Amino acid sequence: MDISVIIVSYNVSSFLDQALTTVKDAARNTKYEIFVVDNASSDDSVSIVKSKHPSVKLIENKVNLGFGRANNQALKLASGKYILILNPDTVLSHDTLRIMIDFLDSHPETGAAGCKVINPDGSLQLACRRGFPTPGGAFFKMVGLSNLFPKSKTFGAYNLTYLDPDSLTEVDAISGSFMMLRKQTLTEVGFFDEDFFMYGEDLDLCYRIKQAGWKIYYVPWTEIIHFKGESTKTVPSLKSVRVFYDAMQIFVDKHHSKESKLHFPRWLLITAIYAVMGCVYGINLLKNTREPIRDLVLLNISLVLGIFMRFNISLDNAPEYSNVQWVSIFVVYSMLYMTTFYFLGIYHRYRNSSERALLGVFIGFLFNIFIVNFIKEYNFSRLASFYSWGFNTIFISGWRFVFEELYSGKAVIRVKRAIIVGSISDAVTLRNVFKNSKYSSYDLIGCIETTPGAIRGREVDGLHILGLINELSDIMHEYSIDVAIMAGSSLPYSKILSIGRKIGTLKRPEFKFVPEIPDHDATKELHEQITLIDILPGKVI
């Protein structure tokens, strides 16, 4: 067996499907095996592997075991000369596995190697080649000096930004998103350390490989796309931030103990780690709580306005409550509304939904009226509660409505001229799906055919073939295209990787990618679930 490919997956079914497809394509001339270790996904990841990739060796975990432990399950069964640790949200080039295998064959001193990993916008993903963490490197990155002086060996040591991204380089560490390992090396240094739940396992393994005398190389002769964070587009949870920095502390405790001869004491390393974590915590806390804080302020403004309206803008006729009673009124009132909003999903699943906010305001009002009527200790004006409900309806649901209308393009729709790059049959299917989806505002101009021998100008179900794939750049300029949509089922992934470089980076439209084309008889649910992944974003032509 030439290579064993191991993918640990958790709730990324569409990405996993495309990753497996590209792995099979890249491994076509090798003897290979593929393991997928599913960490108790709640989506259809397992069923997709079973139905569409039956040759894959699937390990189904009942709970999320973490990255390292899940990889170790497959490593114990792998029989390949080389092992590829691969993230599920990746797309391999046509030649990736062959180039990496040839490199390891010709460099027997190499224990691990990583290729060039690029972001969906075509930029280099800095984590694909790294130095081992030091207090100085962490500090320079935290204060932004690494971004200001990326070519400095001192300030850019954390992500080795001073290195030429197109040059073969021996490095300290490579990313676990794509890590090619020699089985002999793993036998010598051991598998992933299971003390790490998520994050840091790849860094720890690279450290042990280097300590054992093996070399680690960054090989820029082939590349993959890593859709890091593209599947969620959400603010990282505070839990994930804590897990990351806990992993950094485990690394320090393991490899930089008191006996280590460091230029910096261990306590300084730990302090630096948790100082950075505190900053990240604060930033994420602000991002996660800005909407609840905004609603809380608006709720209390509405209550004040309701009280003034109830007593004709004069508090002379208001009940003679003590300060404690007034505070309790505002606290209970706010808690009832905010608790209602939370359980209705206004701050997670239905974020920015004006309809859900309207429902939340109404239910919160009913709770307040219930307490006013049936709890004598909370003897507050029903009319003031009614007035505040009116203001809440305007404020709480109103700002969400404005956000939806103005920033989601519903009030002033800017129609985007779009083309679909793929087979005409896929293009027709996508066009029909778009009619009932959030992409209905796209003005589909036509199709760029990827099938050899396709007839230019041919019409299928009202959609025309504008040209062939080699004419893509000229057609986009000719028709002033805003959005080019790549159909993953008909366009080779290696072609997608090269499109950005061929089109150019200064005046290109948005590029979007559909990993999977729904069936022609797709249901309404499929229409609503279809997602376009942003790749190679740029300016409109």
Task: Output the pLDDT for position 68.
Answer: 85
pLDDT at 139 over 80: no
Give the number of domains in the chain. 3
For residue 187, count other CB atoms closer than 10 A to its CB: 9
Instruction: Specify if 152 maps to a domain.
Output: no
Q: What is the CATH number of the domain that holds 426?
A: 3.40.50.720
Instruction: Specify if 359 maps to a domain.
Output: yes
Instruction: Specify if 271 maps to a domain.
Output: no
Task: Output the pLDDT for position 73.
Answer: 94
Task: Output the pLDDT for position 196.
Answer: 64
pLDDT at 116 over 60: yes
Three-state SS at 449:
strand
Q: What is the CATH number of the domain that holds 197?
A: 3.90.550.10
Same domain for 470 and 368, yes or no, is no
In the 8-state DSSP scheme, what is residue 161? Answer: T
Q: Which pTM was predicted?
A: 0.61
User: Which domain does 291 fall in, by range?
Assistant: 287-407
Instruction: Specify if 157 maps to a domain.
Output: no
Task: Output the pLDDT for position 516.
Answer: 62
Task: Output the pLDDT for position 524.
Answer: 45
Same domain for 403 and 423, yes or no, is no
Same domain for 224 and 296, yes or no, is no
Give the residue from 204, 228, 252 where a domain finishes.
Answer: 228
Same domain for 400 and 421, yes or no, is no
- Helices (H), ranges, 419-492: 424-434, 472-478
Instruction: Specify if 267 maps to a domain.
Output: no
Same domain for 202 and 88, yes or no, is yes
Task: Output the pLDDT for position 534.
Answer: 67
Helix-, strand-, coil-residue percentages of the chain, each rounded to 5: 45, 15, 35
Tell me the pLDDT tens digit for each residue of 423-464.
888 888 888 887 766 677 788 888 988 887 788 888 888 888
pLDDT at 214 over 80: yes
Same domain for 421 and 370, yes or no, is no
What percent of the chain shows pLDDT beyond 70?
70
Tell me the pLDDT tens digit for each residue of 343-399.
888 887 677 788 888 898 999 889 888 887 777 666 677 888 888 898 988 988 888
Query: What mean pLDDT comes out for the span 327-336?
Result: 87
pLDDT at 7 over 70: yes
Question: Nearest CA to 224 among 97, 340, 341, 117?
Answer: 117
Same domain for 101 and 221, yes or no, is yes
pLDDT at 311 over 70: yes
Pair of tokens at residue 254: 């393991």
Same domain for 316 and 453, yes or no, is no
Same domain for 40 and 179, yes or no, is yes
Give the residue from 187, 213, 228 where a domain finishes.
Answer: 228
Query: What mean pLDDT comes out for the span 260-265?
Result: 48
Instruction: Specify if 148 maps to a domain.
Output: no
- The residue written with tokens 């990746």 in the block is 90
pLDDT at 407 over 70: no
Question: Measured in whole angstroms, how far is the alpha carbon of residue 489 from the centre of its chain?
Answer: 22
Give the residue from 228, 254, 274 where a domain finishes.
Answer: 228
Same domain for 438 and 402, yes or no, is no
Same domain for 121 and 47, yes or no, is yes
Instruction: Specify if 433 maps to a domain.
Output: yes
Q: Are 7 and 46 in contact (CB under 8 A)?
A: no
pLDDT at 266 over 70: no
Task: Output the pLDDT for position 478.
Answer: 83
Task: Output the pLDDT for position 487.
Answer: 81
The whole-angstrom separation of Cα 29 and Cα 25 is 9
Same domain for 198 and 333, yes or no, is no
Task: Output the pLDDT for position 226.
Answer: 86
Instruction: Specify if 158 maps to a domain.
Output: no
The DSSP bridge pattern shows strands 110-118 and 57-61 to be unpaired
